A = this chain, B = another copy of it.
């Protein structure tokens, strides 16, 4: 996305005539995965863009079909150039209904979901919907005997660290930005069809040190393993104490993954090689490495 020559990186879209000065993106959130918490903020981290208007509509944690439909209707009432629908398991009835409702608008739609969605998602392009499947954004240990609001928030904090450092959030941001750029250029956007596995994620992580890269990849895989443990604990374990053991292990695992992701970033910091790619007012992205460097 960047030409690597010269100190200043200008996104090529700048060279084109922009058909659209202001793009409206509406995010529809049904239930929660880690990425849900701040997906729209990824597109305008300092709230400076003048080319982008964002709306978010959500049913909170509820994923029922009826709920999904209601909030989808609110979303479709907001005139938008692009819809992004983010949900856990996109194969469930709620998320499915949401996509159906959104499709009525005829606007481009991108569905973002987690690993259990991978089969269902692969069929979306046939319906004209793009998708991003995120491996490494694991289900929480959702059992009464373990999960309370505080535990839930801590888990999400850890997930955010892993998703940030390992390149997941960067990749999502870049794909959404690319689509928005294409809309601004008046093109019919090419919608993403991406499965973010360890290779794709890390490829977007901009981590330079090879050991930091290894640490981040391990953290990513740990996050996937978290999902195995919570899925097993929540859906496949009858004994109450065993359930507690497995979800406890899962939350310890994500905490440890966050620490490993942090280790990876600390190495990059120690080499002053943390790559930063920021949004400018116009929506352009620019990149720098050294912290005191200019874009």
Contact = CB atoms under 8 A, between A and B. Distances in A.
A40 B60 contact: yes
Contact of A53 (B63, B67, B151): B67
Given A148-B277, A229-B221, A292-B210, A161 B170 contact: no
Interface of A: 27, 29, 31-32, 37-38, 40-48, 53-63, 67, 71, 74, 77-78, 142-154, 156-161, 163-165, 169-170, 173, 198-199, 202, 209-215, 217-218, 221-222, 225, 228-229, 241-242, 244-246, 248-253, 255-256, 258-260, 262, 265, 267, 269-272, 274, 276-280, 290-292, 294-295
A38 B155 CA distance: 12
Given A173-B149, A292-B244, A60 B71 contact: no
A250 B218 contact: yes
Nearest to A221: B225
Contact of A245 (B151, B214, B244, B274): B214
A188 to B, nearest CB: 24
Contacts of A62: 44, 47, 53-54
A256 B258 contact: no
Contacts of A158: 157, 161
Contacts of A215: 249, 252
Interface majority SS (helix, strand, loop, mixed), chain A: helix
A90 to B, nearest CB: 16
A88 B47 CA distance: 12
A222 to B, nearest CB: 6
Contact of A46 (B142, B228, B242, B270): B142
B63 A74 contact: no
B42 A153 contact: yes
12 contacts: A38-B156, A42-B152, A47-B62, A55-B57, A74-B74, A153-B160, A156-B157, A210-B272, A217-B249, A252-B260, A256-B256, A256-B260
Given A156-B160, A271-B270, A221 B249 contact: yes
A180 to B, nearest CB: 13
B157 A211 contact: no
Contacts of A202: 245
B169 A291 contact: no
A45 B164 CA distance: 23
Given A46-B142, A211-B272, 20 more contacts: A32-B38, A37-B156, A41-B61, A44-B60, A45-B61, A45-B147, A45-B148, A45-B149, A45-B152, A144-B295, A145-B294, A150-B277, A154-B160, A154-B161, A209-B272, A211-B252, A213-B249, A221-B225, A221-B229, A225-B225
Identify the interface centre among A29, A32, A77: most chain B CB within 10 Å of its CB.
A32
Nearest to A177: B149
B78 A74 contact: yes
